[in-house]
Amino acid sequence: MSESTTDLLRFATIGSVDDGKSTLIGRLLVDTRQLFDDQLEAVAHASAKRGVGDLDLSFVTDGLRAEREQGITIDVAYRYAATPTRKFVIADCPGHVQYTRNMATGASTADVALVVLDATTGLKEQTRRHLCIAALLGVRYVIVAANKMDLAQWSQSTYNAVVSQMNDVGTRLGFSDTVVIPVSALRGDNVVERGFEASWYSGPTVLQALEEAPAGLWANSEAGARLPIQWVLRQHGGGRTYAGMVTGSHFSVGDAVTLLPSGVTATITGINGPRGSMTSAVPGLSVDLDIDQDTDAGRGDLLATAPLPTVTDEFEATLCWFSDRPLTPNSRLRLKHTTRSTPVRVNTISGTLDVETLTVTPTDQLVTNDIGLVSLLTADPIVVDDYRANRVTGSFILIDEVTNATVAAGMIGHASFI
Amino acid sequence: MTTSAPSLVDHLDILEAHAIFIIREVVAECERPVLLFSGGKDSAVLLHLAVKAFAPQKLPFPVMHVDTGHNFPEVIAYRDERVATLGLRLEVASVQEAIDKGRVPDPGPLGMRNRLQTVALLDGIARHKFDAAFGGARRDEDKARAKERVLSFRDKFGQWDPKAQRPELWQLYQGRVNAGENLRAFPLSDWTELDIWNYIKRENVPLPTIYFAHERPVIKRDGMWLAVGEFVHPEPGEVVERHLVRFRTVGDATCTGAVRSAAENIDAIINEISVTNVSERGATRADDRFSETAMEDRKREGYF
pLDDT of A361 reads 95
Q: In the prediction, which pLDDT does B51 show?
A: 96
Question: The domain spanning residue B143 has which CATH number?
Answer: 3.40.50.620
Domain that holds residue B216: 205-288
CA distance A225 to chain B (A): 13
- Report the residue from B54, B146, B283 with minimal CB separation from A233: B54
Residues of chain A found within 8 Å of residue B155, distances taken between Cβ atoms: none
The Cβ of residue B166 has, within 10 Å, a number of other Cβ atoms equal to 22
Distance from C-alpha of B210 to C-alpha of B196, rounded to nearest angstrom: 16
Helix axis angle for A125-136 and A156-173, nearest 10°, is 40
Cβ of A392 under 8 Å from any chain B Cβ?
yes
Lowest mean pLDDT among A165-179, A390-404, B139-153, B289-303: B289-303
Contact A75 B278 (CB under 8 A): no
Q: CB distance from B55 to chain A under 8 Å?
A: yes
- Tell me how far apart the alpha carbons of residues B117 and A269 are, in angstroms, rounded to a whole number: 48
Q: How far apart are CA B282 and CA A82, in angstroms?
A: 20
Residues B217 and B185 in one domain: no
Q: Is A66 helix (H, G, I), strand (E, B) or coil?
A: helix
Average pLDDT over every residue of A135-162: 94
Q: Is residue B200 part of a domain?
A: no
Give the best residue of A30, A33, A38 to mutate against chain B (max B CB count within 10 A): A38
- Chain A residues 87-116 with CB within 8 Å of chain B: 87, 89, 101-102, 104-105, 108-109
Give A-chain residues touching B2 at CB under 8 angstroms. 254
Across the range A391-409, mean pLDDT stands at 95
Rounded to an integer, the average pLDDT of B180-205 is 93
Residue B55's Cβ-side half-sphere holds a number of Cα atoms within 13 Å equal to 16
> Which tops the pLDDT comparison, A405 or B278?
A405
**pLDDT digit string, tens, across residues B199-220:** 999 999 999 999 999 999 998 8
Substitution target from A99, A251, A292, A406 for chain B, most B beta carbons within 10 A: A406
Domain with CATH 3.40.50.300 in chain A: 2-212
Question: B162 with B258, same domain?
Answer: no
Chain-chain contact of B167 with A4 (C-beta, under 8 angstroms): no
Same domain, B119 and B136: yes
> For chain B, how many structural domains are there in total?
2
Beta-carbon pairs below 8 A across chains A and B: 187
Q: Is A56:A47 a contact under the CB 8 Å cutoff?
A: yes
The fold of the A226-304 domain, in CATH, is Elongation Factor Tu (Ef-tu); domain 3 (2.40.30)
Which residues of chain A make contact with B286, given a CB cutoff of 8 A? none
Q: Residue B3: inside a domain, yes or no?
A: no
Chain A residues with beta carbon closer than 8 angstroms to that of B283: 38
Residues in chain A: 418
Listed by number, the residues of chain B in 176-195 with a beta carbon closer than 8 Å to a beta carbon of chain A are 176-178, 189-190, 192
Which 3 state secondary structure label does DSSP give A10?
A: strand
Q: CB–CB of A88/A210 below 8 Å? A: yes
The single-letter DSSP state of residue B231 is S
Among A203, A179, A183, A180, CA closest to A191: A183
Distance CA A163, CA A144 (A): 9
When pLDDT is cut at 50, 70 and 90, the band that residue B285 belongs to is low
In A172-300 the beta strands, taken as DSSP E runs, fall at 177-182, 226-228, 231-234, 240-245, 251-252, 256-260, 264-273, 276-278, 280-281, 286-291
Residue A241 has what pLDDT? Answer: 96
Instruction: Please indicate if any CB of chain B lies within 8 Å of the CB of A405.
Output: yes
With CA atoms as reference, the chain B residue closest to A78 would be B146
First-last CA distance in chain B: 49
pLDDT tens by residue, A193-202: 998 888 999 9
Residue A218: predicted pLDDT: 59
Give the pLDDT score at A55.
75
Contact A406, B166 (CB under 8 A): yes
Q: How far apart are CA B188 and CA B197, in angstroms?
A: 13
Instruction: Please check whether residue A309 is in contact with residue A338, taking contact to mean a CB–CB distance below 8 angstroms.
Output: no
Interchain CB contact of A299 with B (< 8 Å): yes
DSSP A268: E
**Same-domain check for residues B158 and B223:** no
Burial of B193 from C-beta contacts in 10 A (0-12 / 13-18 / 19+): buried
Which has more pLDDT, A260 or A59?
A: A260
Q: Burial of A416 by CB count in 10 Å (0-12 exposed, 13-18 middle, 19+ buried)? A: exposed
User: What is the percentage of chain A residues whose pLDDT exceeds 90?
Assistant: 67
Residue B112: per-residue pLDDT? 67
Q: What is the mean pLDDT of residues A70-92?
A: 85
Least confident of A255-269, A391-405, B61-75: B61-75
CATH class, domain A2-212, is alpha beta
pLDDT digits (tens, 9 = 90+) for A329-351: 999 999 999 999 999 999 999 99
Answer whether B9 touches A (CB < 8 Å): yes
Chain B nearest C-alpha distance from A279 (Å): 7
Does A274 sit within 8 Å of B13, measured CB to CB?
Answer: yes
**Digit-coded pLDDT (tens) for A83-142:** 888 889 999 888 888 888 899 999 999 999 999 999 999 899 889 999 999 999 999 899
Q: How many CB atoms lie within 10 A of CB A95?
A: 26
Is the Cβ–Cβ distance between A95 and A321 less than 8 Å?
no
pLDDT of residue A224: 93
Helix (H, G, I), strand (E, B) or coil at B79: helix
Nearest residue of B to residue A286 by CA position? Answer: B17
The answer to whether B27 contacts A36, with C-beta atoms less than 8 Å apart, is: no
Q: Is ipTM strictly over 0.95? A: no
Domain co-membership, B177 together with B262: no
B143 part of contact set with chain A, CB < 8 Å: yes
B204 touching A (Cβ < 8 Å): no
Confirm whether B1 is domain-assigned: no
Q: Is B48 on the interface with A (CB under 8 A)?
A: no
Say yes or no for a CB contact (<8 Å) between A64 and B21: no
Instruction: List, as ranges, residues 1-30 from A with C-beta within 8 Å of B.
Output: 1, 3-5, 7-8
Contact A285 B165 (CB under 8 A): no
What does the pLDDT look like over B243-266, one tens digit per residue?
999 988 887 878 888 889 899 999
User: Across all residues in chain A, what is the average pLDDT?
Assistant: 90
Give A4's contacts in chain B (Cβ within 8 Å). Answer: 6, 8-9, 13-14
Does one domain contain both B188 and B243? Answer: no
- CATH 2.40.30.10 residue spans of chain A: 226-304, 310-412
Same domain, B165 and B278: no
Q: Do A63 and B296 touch (CB under 8 A)?
A: yes
Q: In Å, what is the CA distance from B75 to each residue of A240, A262, B59?
A: 37, 50, 21
Tell me which architecture the domain covering A310-412 has in CATH: Beta Barrel (2.40)
% of chain A with per-residue pLDDT over 70: 97
Q: What pLDDT, on the 0 to 100 scale, is given for residue B249?
A: 84
Facing residue for B292 by CB, picked from A46, A105, A236? A46
User: Which chain A residues touch B53 with a CB distance below 8 Å?
Assistant: 243, 286
Residues B174 and B259 in one domain: no
Q: What is the mean pLDDT of residues B179-200?
A: 92
pLDDT at B170 over 60: yes
In a shared domain, residues B239 and B106: no
Query: Is residue B39 in some structural domain?
Result: yes
**Does residue B5 form part of some domain?**
no
Angle of helix A125-136 relative to helix A100-107, nearest 10 degrees, comes to 40
Domain identity same for B109 and B160: yes
pLDDT for residue B1: 36
Which chain B residue's Cα is nearest to A219?
A: B14
Closest to B98 (Cα-Cα) out of B74, B117, B75, B125: B117
Residue B41 has pLDDT above 90, yes or no: yes
* CA angle, residues A133, A191, A103, in degrees to nearest 5: 20
**Separation CA B150–CA B136 (nearest Å):** 11
Determine the longest span between alpha carbons in chain A, in angstroms.
74
Rounded CA-CA distance A61/A79 in Å is 8
Rounded to an integer, what distance in angstroms lies between the CA atom of residue A233 and that of residue A241? 5
> Does residue B95 fall inside a structural domain?
yes
User: Are B122 and B105 members of one domain?
Assistant: yes
Strand B151-154, strand B214-221: pairing = unpaired
User: Cβ of A322 under 8 Å from any chain B Cβ?
Assistant: yes
Q: Does B60 touch chain A (CB under 8 A)?
A: no
Mean per-residue pLDDT for B132-139? 94
Measured between CA atoms, how close is A387 to chain B, in angstroms? 12
- Other C-beta atoms closer than 10 Å to the C-beta of B265 total 10
pLDDT given for residue B272 in this prediction: 87
* pLDDT top residue among B187 and A17: B187
Do B46 and B187 belong together in one domain? yes
Reduced to 3 states, what is the DSSP secondary structure of residue B38? coil
Identify the H or E element spanning A332: strand A332-337
Burial of B57 (0-12, 13-18, 19+ CB in 10 A): middle
Note whether residue B190 is domain-resident. Answer: yes
pLDDT, tens digit, for every residue of A364-388? 999 999 999 999 999 999 999 999 9
Task: Specify which of A1-5, A48-52, A72-76, A265-269 reaches the highest per-range mean pLDDT.
Answer: A265-269
